[in-house]
């Protein structure tokens, strides 16, 4: 009887220890992921950056993204990929300021958006959504009959080199999403101008 009681007590202590260990591991994981900055969460302040280079790209030819069917989405490159160098050593960082200006038209009542990608990923700290998109018009009842409208938007991207003088491809996409049923969507950019400034700490 005593041996059985002792064995039960030992099992209870062992189970309690495992429960405490599991709780500690869970708490540590929660704290770790809470401390990791989200790609698109909260204000980010970058002070005392020094401008080193500026790159430009422009296009005066129309670019159209279109699709058919309810809820469809279309995305096409707005400009050729712009290769931008971060003139820092391995492990060094750069800040890119990416400024896009456009003249656009969109079918009613759909969503028009731009996608910003730096090295194939959404820019951090952005701001964009988790896929790199910025919505410039949505559910506008007169977008289909309005004259092309000018838009201006900028994002910030912090990058860290894995090789010295790494070249980072910057891609800007034009897109639309059908919001009006089974008709589909079409958006056209008639003029676009892209400026990317490179800053060092």
Nearest alpha-carbon partner for 65 in 129, 15, 136, 164: 136
pLDDT at 10 over 70: no
Q: How many CA atoms lie within 13 A of 129 on its CB side?
A: 8
What's the confidence (pLDDT) of residue 40? 53
What's the confidence (pLDDT) of residue 41? 62
- Longest Cα separation, the chain: 91
Strands 167-177 and 73-77: antiparallel
**Looking up tokens 């670019």, which residue turns up?**
63
Q: Which two tokens stand for residue 14?
A: 């062992």
Q: Sorting pLDDT into bands at 50, 70 and 90, what band is 27?
A: very low
What's the confidence (pLDDT) of residue 151? 95
Q: What are phi and psi of 20, to 5 degrees?
A: -65, -40
Nearest alpha-carbon partner for 62 in 125, 126, 105: 105
Question: Is the CB of residue 88 less than 8 Å from the CB of residue 168?
Answer: no
Q: Sorting pLDDT into bands at 50, 70 and 90, what band is 24?
A: very low
Please indicate whether residue 13 or residue 187 has the higher confidence score (pLDDT): 187
What's the confidence (pLDDT) of residue 181? 75
Task: Spell out the SS3 assignment of 111-129.
Answer: EEEEEEEECCECCCEECCC
Query: Radius of gyration of the chain from Cα atoms?
Result: 25
Separation CA 74–CA 185 (nearest Å): 8
List, for residues 136-184, the tens digit of each pLDDT value.
Answer: 999 888 888 888 999 999 999 999 999 999 999 999 999 999 998 778 9
Q: Sorting pLDDT into bands at 50, 70 and 90, what band is 34?
A: very low
Per-residue DSSP letter, 70: T
Question: Is the CB of residue 157 less than 8 Å from the CB of residue 124?
Answer: yes
List, for residues 43-95, the tens digit of each pLDDT value.
Answer: 888 888 899 999 999 999 999 999 999 999 999 999 999 999 999 999 999 99
């Amino acid at each position: 009887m005593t041996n059985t009681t002792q064995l039960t007590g030992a099992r209870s202590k062992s189970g309690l220890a495992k429960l405490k260990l599991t709780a500690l591991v869970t708490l540590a994981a929660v704290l770790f992921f809470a401390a990791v900055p989200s790609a698109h969460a909260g204000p980010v302040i970058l002070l005392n950056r020094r401008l080193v280079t500026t790159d430009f790209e422009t296009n005066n030819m129309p670019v159209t993204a279109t699709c058919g069917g309810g809820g469809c989405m279309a995305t096409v490159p707005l400009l050729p990929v712009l290769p931008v160098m971060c003139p820092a050593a391995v492990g060094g960082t750069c800040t890119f300021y990416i400024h896009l200006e456009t003249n656009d038209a969109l079918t009613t009542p759909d969503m028009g958006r731009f996608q910003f990608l730096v090295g194939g990923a959404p820019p951090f700290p952005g701001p964009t959504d988790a896929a790199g998109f910025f919505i410039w018009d949505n559910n506008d009842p007169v977008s289909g009959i309005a004259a092309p409208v000018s838009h201006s938007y900028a994002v910030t991207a912090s990058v860290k080199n894995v090789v010295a003088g790494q070249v980072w491809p910057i891609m800007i996409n034009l897109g639309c999403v059908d919001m009006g049923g089974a008709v589909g969507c079409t958006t056209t950019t008639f003029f676009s101008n892209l400026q990317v400034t490179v800053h060092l700490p």
